[in-house]
Chain A
Amino acid sequence: EIVLTQSPGTLSLSPGERATLSCRASQGVRSNFLAWYQQKPGQSPRLLIHDAFIRATGIPDRFSGSGSGTDFTLTISRLEPEDFAVYYCQQYGGSPPYTFGQGTKLEIK
């Protein structure tokens, strides 16, 4: 089973700043099948990025994904007030089980 470790656990930033979130896999993610999700309080997770760098439908271009193999990054170029939430990475690289990271909470500084 691939274990995903996200860092930092909590990130405190101000609107307008740049956010960089990390997701490290315990072994290589096949075909870079890695996704990022955003979850706000009281809501279900929302798909932001799939296949490591492809934005999902309707996702603003301030969100970008990068990385390959075992190291992946979600970058939010200029934080908007609505971006403060919890972010999860997930690998779906072939065989189950599909695994999620433990999450990074992005909070307003």
Chain B
Amino acid sequence: EVQLVESGGGLVQPGGSLRLSCVASGFTFSTYDMHWVRQYTGKGLEWVSAIDTAGRTYYPDSVKGRFTISRENAKNSLFLQMNSLTAGDTAVYYCVREKDIGDDAFDFWGQGTMVTVSS
């Protein structure tokens, strides 16, 4: 059974940093592209970052230069380092698997971890 378990969320002050983690199980982690997607409270979804099997990374402009996605295949783990956080980054952050190599939909989502940026 595929499982994605996020951790590391919490309350942080504006300008602060936070590192999210995701541990994957039930599949060969190293052979899948992985993503982080966030959801603002009660609202829509925003793609935050991606890392492919070769370690190449991708970001939208809204987080580029502030967020860094990484992976450690030996530990089946995905990370998101978030710096210079603002209130606009407050959301639930999901660890997400891309269904197949190449351009594909997101077939498994973690339960999410809440990040709150507030003074």
Residue of B nearest to A100 (CB): B45
CB <8 Å contact, A44 and B104: no
Interface residues on B, range: 20 to 34
CB <8 Å contact, B47 and A98: yes
**Interface of B, helix, strand, loop or mixed by DSSP:** loop
Enumerate chain A residues within 8 angstroms of B43, measured Cβ to Cβ.
Answer: 102-103
Q: Bound complex: CA of A51 vs CA of B99, how far in Å?
A: 11
CB <8 Å contact, B109 and A44: yes
CB <8 Å contact, B105 and A90: yes
CB <8 Å contact, A92 and B103: yes
CB <8 Å contact, B110 and A44: yes
CB <8 Å contact, B111 and A100: no
Interface residues on A, range: 20 to 34
Q: Please, what's the 1-or-0 string for A36-53, where 1 marks a CB less than 8 Å from any CB in chain B?
A: 010000001111001100
Interface residues of A (CB under 8 A from B): 30-31, 33, 35, 37, 44-47, 50-51, 56-57, 88, 90, 92-94, 96-103
Interface residues of B (CB under 8 A from A): 35, 43-47, 50, 58-61, 94, 99, 103-107, 109-112
